[in-house]
Structure 1
């Protein structure tokens, strides 16, 4: 019995199974949510006060902080960064 994935990288396995993009998206969203929550704690901001600073609803902030909700818009992310006094840095790099 030949094993298909012996010796392949995990990214290679995910790519072969058409799961790499989805897995990457979830990982990035978890990092973003974690960084925002950490900064909110550091600045002692409640969800209600953060939502007010973002000029949005608490429900929208909850979606931003939901690690499994990958429907993040750049405007929401920019609004959160501004509310926290931070900037955003994106970078495309070779795969």
Structure 2
């Protein structure tokens, strides 16, 4: 097998995902998983319960569970910011060249 007969051989994962048209979706899901993991770790380090976190955010415990669910990618930036602040962190978003 070579690259000419099998285009996925020798390419990057980014090239493969781009070819499938799924690169942005995969990246978005990965970012959400990392944020959920970081917020959950900060919550545990501060010995906060999910109920205490919800109170700090002005929301329900059910909403906190959704935010911390790494597979739930439909969480707004505003909600992520509130979650970060509730555990003593700040959400930083940066626009960089591709």
Give the TM-score taking structure 1 as reference length: 0.93
Which residue pairs with 2:52 in the alignment? Answer: 49
Q: 1:27, 1:54 → 2: CA distance? A: 24
- 1:18 partnered with 2:25: no
**Structure 1 position 4, deviation (Å):** 2.0
Hey, what's the Cα distance between the residues in 2 that align with 1:74 and 1:14?
25
Structure 1: gaps spanning 5 or more residues: none
Corresponding residue number in structure 2 for 1:39: 42
SS in 2 for 1:5: coil
Aligned length: 95
1:52-91 mapped onto 2 (5 Å cutoff): 52-91=55-94
Q: Following TM superposition, where does structure 1 have runs of at least 4 consecutive aligned residues deviating by more than 4 angstroms?
A: none
CA distance in 2, matches of 1:70, 1:40: 19
TM-score, normalised by the number of residues in structure 2? 0.90
